[in-house]
Amino acid sequence: MKQLTEFPTTDLAQITQKGQYVLFFHADWCPDCKFIEPEMPSIEEDFPEYQFISVDRDQFLDLAKKLNIMGIPSFVAYADGQEIGRLVNKNRKTKAEVEDFLKSLA
């Protein structure tokens, strides 16, 4: 999974303008983030049509606020520059919940 810091810009419109993306908002101190993190490689493998981008919420707090990311872990999906769905709340998420969310986008 690429980190947002690996891109030459943090402008989501520019990053997501072509293709399908899932932003994974998390933080080092978040136990629910640590719960889903081991499942992320498998989720990525199950959904190769998406490019997953890891976003440290604390490092990109302004972006999280702009996108109304109040709870983590959270997922925001884009297709060709447009937001197409979000799984944003403060609840712990299971692999099945994340995959059901991604399936619902199709």
Compute the 3-state secondary structure of the chain and give helix, strand, coil in percent, each to the nearest 5: 35, 25, 40
Side-chain-side CA neighbours of residue 6 (13 Å): 7
Active-site residue, from 22, 23, 30, 67? 30
pLDDT at position 91, please? 84
37-89: pLDDT as tens digits = 999 999 999 999 999 999 999 999 999 999 999 899 999 999 999 999 999 98
**Considering the chain, what percentage of its residues have pLDDT values greater than 70?**
100
Active-site residue, from 4, 12, 15, 33? 33
Q: Is 25 a catalytic residue?
A: no
Give which of 58, 51, 18, 69 is closest to 40, Cα–Cα: 51
CATH assignment of the domain containing 38: 3.40.30.10
11-31: pLDDT as tens digits = 898 999 999 999 999 999 999
Question: How many domains is the chain built from?
Answer: 1
**Would you say 75 and 23 are in contact if contact means Cβ atoms under 8 Å apart?**
yes
Burial of 15 (0-12, 13-18, 19+ CB in 10 A): buried
**Would you say 92 and 32 are in contact if contact means Cβ atoms under 8 Å apart?**
yes
Q: Is 36 a catalytic residue?
A: no
Domain that holds residue 13: 2-104
